[in-house]
């Protein structure tokens, strides 16, 4: 088995460490907080995230990134997307040039509009050793061994198959996909649609409304992916519609929960004050909309989510703006029909 450095000890990092450690990999788990690392090593529990998960003896935590990377055969990055660049910069002096790295963070960097593997390439170099993993993978379920599936997208096939082998277990099925842009972009943009779905829940609307938001959201995601060179069929897979379903409907979804909180009259600041969790959709609605502007793709749901969260636009006003849009061909702009 391999020595795997897991960089990030939040909910997802803790569940991944449990899963890979139970498989027999030696896990070197990096936590930003020294107290968290110490608690994991003494009690076998993360005291903040996924505290019910009992981590096996194959998992050893540290607050020293050099120690976490020492001797690692592969690296799994599981930090919030907003922290990927800074974390990668701290890793760079301690990471060999050919060590494979897979990033599980879902987002688009706000300043550069880079996807997460592009950020890693910018900081660490050697694009050929990079991959992204994305799918309907709530940490709360993976950490309980509930059957799940995911997709690994890599620039080089052998790297994708390496991480497919590392992550595959009896309950966690891993597929590969060469469409790195599509897999990563779908993972980032679906979080925004999930915020909108949560707003629908908060307003007390029903299944029709949520199904409409999810379906038109998927079309919006696909249009952006098509404009950026992604394979439209990726959006029909686990990283697209699969992750969208899970994130828009699950009680475990932070993004859906944020939307529901706002739909009931709350604010983004109020939500942040009630939870230690990061709702990636709150960041992604800004960067995804900017990315759409860059490539000339209209993203109406993303635009309204951003306006509600950051410009105090009432949810009902945004609803009216969406329902009042000019009717179009359902499949326009997604690359499956002539536009």
What single DSSP character describes residue 11?
A: H
In sequence order, which residues have a C-beta less than 8 Å from that of residue 310 and are 6 or more positions away?
A: 268, 286
How far from chain centre, in Å, is Cα 185? 9
Which position has the token pair 């749901």?
A: 301
What single DSSP character describes residue 326?
A: P
What single DSSP character describes residue 62?
A: E
What single DSSP character describes residue 304?
A: H
Residue 78 · residue 8 · CB < 8 Å: yes
d(CA 287, CA 306): 10
Q: Phi first, then psi: give them for residue 275, nearest 5 degrees.
A: -145, 150
Q: Where are the alpha helices (DSSP H) in the chain?
A: 11-23, 34-43, 65-69, 84-91, 116-124, 139-142, 157-167, 180-202, 207-227, 243-249, 254-263, 268-274, 281-295, 300-311, 315-323
Among residues 23, 106, 190, 210, which one is catalytic?
190
3-state DSSP assignment of residue 297? coil
- Examine the residue annotation and report whether 190 is marked as an active-site residue of this protein: yes
Closest CA to 243 of 176, 166, 183, 171: 183
Q: Beta strands 101-103 and 26-30: pairing type?
A: unpaired
Q: In what order do the strands lie in the sheet with 3-7?
A: 59-62, 26-30, 3-7, 74-77, 101-103, 130-134, 148-154, 172-177
Angle between helical axes of 180-202 and 116-124 (0-180°, round to 10):
130
Longest dimension (CA), the chain: 60
**Residues that are catalytic:** 190
């Amino acid at each position: 088995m391999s020595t795997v450095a897991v960089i990030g000890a939040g909910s997802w990092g803790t569940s991944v460490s449990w899963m890979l450690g139970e498989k027999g990999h030696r896990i070197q788990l990096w936590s930003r907080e020294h107290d968290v690392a110490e608690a994991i090593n003494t009690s076998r529990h993360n005291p903040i995230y996924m505290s019910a998960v009992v981590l096996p003896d194959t998992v050893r935590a540290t607050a020293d990134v050099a120690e976490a990377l020492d001797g690692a055969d592969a690296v799994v990055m599981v930090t919030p997307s907003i922290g990927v660049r800074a974390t990668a910069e701290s890793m760079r002096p301690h990471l060999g040039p050919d060590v494979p790295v897979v990033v599980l963070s879902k987002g688009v960097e706000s300043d550069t509009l880079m996807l997460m593997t592009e950020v890693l390439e910018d900081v660490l170099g050697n694009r050929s050793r990079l991959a992204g993993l994305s799918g309907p993978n709530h940490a709360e379920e993976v950490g309980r061994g509930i059957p799940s599936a995911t997709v690994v997208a890599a620039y080089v096939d052998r790297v994708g198959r390496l991480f497919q082998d590392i992550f595959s277990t009896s309950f966690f099925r891993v597929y590969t996909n060469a469409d790195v842009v599509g897999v990563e972009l779908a993972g980032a943009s679906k979080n925004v649609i999930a915020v909108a779905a949560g707003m629908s829940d908060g307003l007390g609307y029903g299944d029709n409304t949520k199904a409409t938001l999810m379906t038109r959201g998927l079309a919006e995601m696909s249009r952006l992916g098509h404009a950026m060179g992604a394979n439209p069929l990726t959006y029909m897979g686990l990283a697209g519609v699969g992750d969208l379903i899970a994130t828009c409907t699950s009680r475990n979804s932070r993004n859906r929960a944020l939307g529901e909180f706002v739909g009931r009259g709350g604010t983004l600041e109020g939500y942040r004050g009630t939870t230690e969790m990061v709702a990636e959709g709150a960041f992604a609605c800004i960067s995804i909309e900017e990315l759409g502007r860059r490539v000339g793709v209209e993203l109406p749901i993303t635009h309204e989510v951003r306006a509600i969260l950051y410009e105090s636009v009432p949810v009902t006003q945004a609803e009216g703006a969406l329902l009042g849009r000019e009717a179009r061909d359902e499949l326009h702009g997604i690359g499956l029909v002539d536009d």
